[in-house]
């Protein structure tokens, strides 16, 4: 049976339990204060008094004096229906906003970021322009401006929220099939990644939960491929185990490399905690050993790239063994290579700790003993790998593109890497629900792609400058 990742997205209608852990602290200043103290974070500023032009209290961002004066840009939110206690919302664009959106698409086709800058000067809270220009600033290494533009987009969205829309209840849904909603997902995702890079993994984890709560059945940005990493970085080990326990029966999380390895890592860290009862420590360590062995048997292609990124040289008994040697990479199906590359590239820093690496080394030896003894689990996992990873769904490709992790992007299939990828709407769903369409217009192709645009395109795998120059594509 070819499952084609159907184990991962099976259209659940049950209300998932992430809302129980949404103790939503979406303000990174709270986390930074815990690390550095309030004075170091806030200095001598007087919060809230400064922003008199902004009258609304918001959860996600604090408006800044440097921002343009806010006036509603033409975005609103509508409640579509309420069913079984779940509220289904959608963002909507006014006619005036639709006209700005058409101008934005013209600017994208011009391949000149300066046209987006000009559009933002006239419409400083146009969402897609803010998202696209943020990417430009980030790649030009202006991280502060890139982050600021995303915060401005989130503020604009929050000012449009419906009175019943809740960030914290876990009962508010937004359909990713609607383009007006997708920008909110992407703004949240980009904000989350900025928080993680700023050293606020706990706050980033809350945003990850929020994104997942908006459409837990489809998980359009594949937050289940990221949530374990953020929880581990936050030392929220029980959170990972709780998600695994609640979702494994319906989503088969153990068949995802990230959860297979992360649950083992969580049990290991729990076994190492101070003041833990020795018997409990032994129990947790035994569980960690058991899970890591299964993870390595199920996903042997993880080991060598992981050790390589950790700059660890395995002994000859490992490198010469066919189970972990080059064949484990060669035999790997492309869809599985995408997932293992993503996991290794994202989480290798979690394995660099000396105690963790020693544990990994001991476990690898035990796995090889089981392989040589022809443990039936080894053949069972081999059969599962052949059956279950025939092709990856579009949202996994979307997640890999957004991650920009080269170990994963290099494994993307040609049907993804040879098509235009728009930063403001990467790999849109093929069954999008359109509420309005762009008027027909005569396309004017650009004669030369700008240097900056070529640079953006060159970041994608399989980039070809001759092909790129023959297309009308904006990074």
State the pairing for strand pair 75-83/86-93.
antiparallel
Model confidence band, residue 13 (pLDDT cutoffs 50, 70, 90): very low
pLDDT value at 38 more than 70: no
pLDDT value at 99 more than 50: yes
Q: What's the pLDDT at 35?
A: 61
Q: What is the mean pLDDT of the chain?
A: 86
Q: What are phi and psi of 269, to 5 degrees?
A: -65, -35
Greatest mean pLDDT among 118-122, 324-328, 433-437: 118-122
pLDDT value at 147 more than 80: yes
pLDDT value at 291 more than 50: yes
What does the pLDDT average to over 322-348? 93
Q: Helices 257-271 and 334-347 meet at what angle, rounded to 10?
A: 30
pLDDT value at 106 more than 80: yes
Bridge partners (DSSP) listed for residue 81: 88
φ/ψ bin of 209: left (φ > 0), alpha (ψ from -120 to 50), beta (otherwise):
alpha
**pTM score of the predicted model:** 0.86
Q: What's the pLDDT at 55?
A: 55
Model confidence band, residue 59 (pLDDT cutoffs 50, 70, 90): confident
> How many CA atoms, within 13 angstroms, populate the side-chain half-sphere of residue 400?
29
Model confidence band, residue 327 (pLDDT cutoffs 50, 70, 90): confident
Residues in Cβ contact with 350 at an 8 Å cutoff, skipping those fewer than 6 apart: 229, 232, 233, 265, 356
| Sheet bearing 86-93, strands edge to edge | 75-83, 86-93, 172-174
Q: What's the pLDDT at 16?
A: 43
CA atoms of 362 and 400, how far apart (whole Å): 31
Bridge partners (DSSP) listed for residue 171: none
pLDDT by residue (tens digit) across 404-448?
999 999 999 999 999 888 889 999 999 999 989 988 765 554 444
pLDDT value at 267 more than 90: yes
Higher pLDDT, 328 or 32: 328
pLDDT by residue (tens digit) across 205-256?
999 999 999 999 999 999 999 999 999 999 999 999 999 999 998 889 999 9
Closest CA to 403 of 276, 222, 258: 222
Higher pLDDT, 469 or 381: 381
Q: What's the pLDDT at 32?
A: 65
Q: What's the pLDDT at 42?
A: 53
Q: What are phi and psi of 93, to 5 degrees?
A: -105, 135
Closest CA to 313 of 322, 325, 321, 304: 304
Model confidence band, residue 33 (pLDDT cutoffs 50, 70, 90): low
Distance of CA 81 to the CA centre of its chain: 28
What does the pLDDT average to over 302-314? 97
């Amino acid at each position: 049976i070819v499952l084609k990742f159907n184990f991962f997205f099976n259209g659940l209608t049950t209300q998932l339990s992430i809302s129980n852990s949404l103790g939503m602290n979406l303000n990174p200043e709270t986390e930074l204060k815990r690390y550095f103290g309030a004075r170091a974070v806030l200095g001598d500023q007087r919060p809230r008094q400064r922003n008199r032009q902004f009258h609304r209290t918001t959860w996600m961002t604090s408006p800044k004096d440097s921002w343009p004066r806010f006036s509603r840009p033409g975005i609103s939110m509508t409640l579509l229906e309420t069913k079984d206690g779940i509220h289904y919302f959608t963002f909507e664009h006014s006619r005036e906003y639709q006209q700005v959106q058409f101008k934005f698409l013209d600017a994208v086709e011009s391949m000149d970021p300066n046209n987006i800058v000009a559009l933002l000067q006239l419409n400083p809270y146009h969402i897609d322009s803010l998202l696209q220009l943020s990417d430009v600033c980030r790649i030009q290494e202006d991280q502060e401006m890139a982050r600021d533009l995303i915060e401005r987009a989130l503020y604009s969205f929050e000012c449009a929220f419906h009175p019943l829309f809740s960030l914290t209840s876990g009962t508010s849904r937004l359909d990713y099939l609607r383009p007006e909603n997708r920008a909110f997902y992407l703004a949240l995702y980009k904000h989350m990644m900025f928080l993680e890079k700023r050293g606020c993994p706990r706050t980033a984890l809350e945003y990850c939960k929020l994104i997942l709560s908006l459409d837990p059945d489809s998980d359009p940005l594949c937050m289940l491929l990221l949530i374990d990493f953020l929880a581990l970085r936050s030392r929220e080990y029980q959170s990972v185990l709780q998600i695994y326990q609640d979702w494994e029966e319906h989503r088969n999380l153990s068949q995802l490399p990230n959860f297979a390895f992360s649950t083992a890592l969580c049990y290991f860290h729990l076994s190492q905690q101070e003041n833990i009862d020795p018997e409990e420590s032994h129990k947790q360590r035994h569980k960690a050993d058991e899970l890591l062995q299964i993870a390595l048997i199920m996903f042997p292609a993880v080991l060598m790239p992981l050790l390589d990124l950790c700059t660890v040289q395995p002994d000859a008994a490992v490198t010469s063994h066919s189970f972990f040697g080059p064949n484990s990479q060669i035999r790997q199906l492309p869809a599985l290579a995408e997932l293992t590359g993503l996991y290794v590239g994202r989480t290798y820093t979690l394995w660099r700790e000396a105690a963790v690496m020693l544990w990994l080394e001991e476990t690898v030896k035990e796995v090889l003993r089981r392989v040589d003894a022809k443990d039936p689990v080894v053949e069972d996992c081999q059969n599962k790998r052949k059956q279950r990873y025939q092709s990856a769904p579009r949202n996994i490709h979307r997640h890999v593109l957004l991650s920009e992790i080269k170990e994963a992007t290099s494994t993307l299939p040609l049907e993804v890497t040879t098509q235009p990828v728009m930063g403001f709407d990467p790999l849109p769903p093929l069954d999008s629900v359109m509420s309005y369409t762009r008027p027909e217009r005569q396309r004017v192709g650009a004669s030369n792609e700008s240097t900056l645009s070529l640079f953006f395109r060159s970041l994608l795998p399989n980039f070809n400058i001759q092909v790129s120059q023959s297309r009308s594509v904006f990074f």
